Amino acid sequence: MATVLLIADIGGYTRYMAVNRVALTHAHYVVGRLLETVIDAARPWLKLSKLEGDAALFWADERELDPQRLPECVTGMREAFVRRRAIVDTDCICNCDACVDTRGLTLKFVAHLGEVAFQRVKRFTELAGIDVILVHRMLKNEVPAREYLLMTEPLARALPATLGLDMHAIEQDFEGLGRTPCRWIDLSRMSVSVPARTRSLPRSVAKAMLGSIRTLPYGLGIRRACAGFKNLPEPEPPRAKAR
C-alpha cells in the first residue's frame, strides 16, 4: 500500500535542552506544547505514529491523503508552530535560558512516498519496512537551510508544479541506502502572518504562575515531555505480577 510518511522535527532542540536543571523543566514544557501544536495542525490529513524525542512521525494512506495536499498540510503545521512560538515568547516574563531561547527553535520536515507494513501494538500503529528506515535517514542531510521540506523524488513528482516557492534538486547518500535523488523547499522564505499581540503584565504574570505550576512535575521528575497529549492514547497501566 502506498503511504505518505512525514517526520516533523524541531531544530535547535539539543542546544535548547542543554541548560541548567531549573530551565530544563521549562524547556520540557515548552517543547511539549510546541509539538502538541504541530500534531493538532496535522489533523485530519495525517495520523501520528509516534513521538521520537524532538520529532513526530506521521503517516497517511495515499487513498486518504492525496500527495498534492502535502504542501498545504506542511505549511499549516509550520504556521501553527510559528504562531504558538510567538505566543510563548510574548507572554513569557521568565529570564531562564529555556524561555529566552524559544525563538531559536525551528521546524523542518522530511517526507517520502513508499510501501510500509503495519503492526498494531496495543493502541498504537507501528510502521515497518525499508521506506520507514529511509525517511528517518533523511533527517541527516546536507540541505543548506534551517527550515525546509525535504522529499524523495517519487513524492516530489506527485506534487503540484506550482508551490509558490522554488524546489531545489539534491542527491543525498543515506547510510545503508546509497545515493537517493531528492528535492527540497526552503520554508524559511515562506512568511507567516502572526497576529499582533500586546504584552500584558497581568496576563504575563498569570501565565508565569500557571507555567510554574504546570512545570513542577517536570522538575520533580514525575512527568516527561509530551506526556498526556490530548490526542495521544494513554499507556495501559502495568498488570500486577502473579504471585
CATH code of 12's domain: 3.30.70.1230
Grid coordinates given for 74: 506542511
**Residue 234, domain member (yes or no):** no
Residue 214: the pLDDT is 61
Residue 225: the pLDDT is 52
Residue 22: the pLDDT is 53
User: Rounded distance, CA 71 to CA 79, Å?
Assistant: 12
Residue type, 64: E
Angle of helix 201-219 relative to helix 70-91, nearest 10 degrees, comes to: 100
Our CA angle for 106, 108, 114, nearest 5°, is 165
Residue 231: the pLDDT is 39
Number of structural domains in the chain? 1
Residue 101 structural domain: 2-219
Residue type, 27: A
Residue 229: the pLDDT is 42
**Residue 190, domain member (yes or no):** yes
**Residue 186, domain member (yes or no):** yes
Grid coordinates given for 241: 505480577
CB atoms within 10 A of CB 186: 17
Our CA angle for 51, 52, 54, nearest 5°, is 100
Residue 119: the pLDDT is 80
**Residue 60, domain member (yes or no):** yes
The closest of 233, 242, 224, 231 to 36, measured between CA atoms, is 231
* Residue for grid cell 536543571: 21
Residue 159: the pLDDT is 78
**Residue 238, domain member (yes or no):** no
DSSP 218: H
**Residue 236, domain member (yes or no):** no
Residues of the chain with pLDDT under 50: 20-21, 228-243
User: Rounded distance, CA 53 to CA 55, Å?
Assistant: 6
User: Rounded distance, CA 5 to CA 149, Å?
Assistant: 12
**Residue 84, domain member (yes or no):** yes
Residue 126: the pLDDT is 82
**Residue 228, domain member (yes or no):** no
Residue 235: the pLDDT is 39
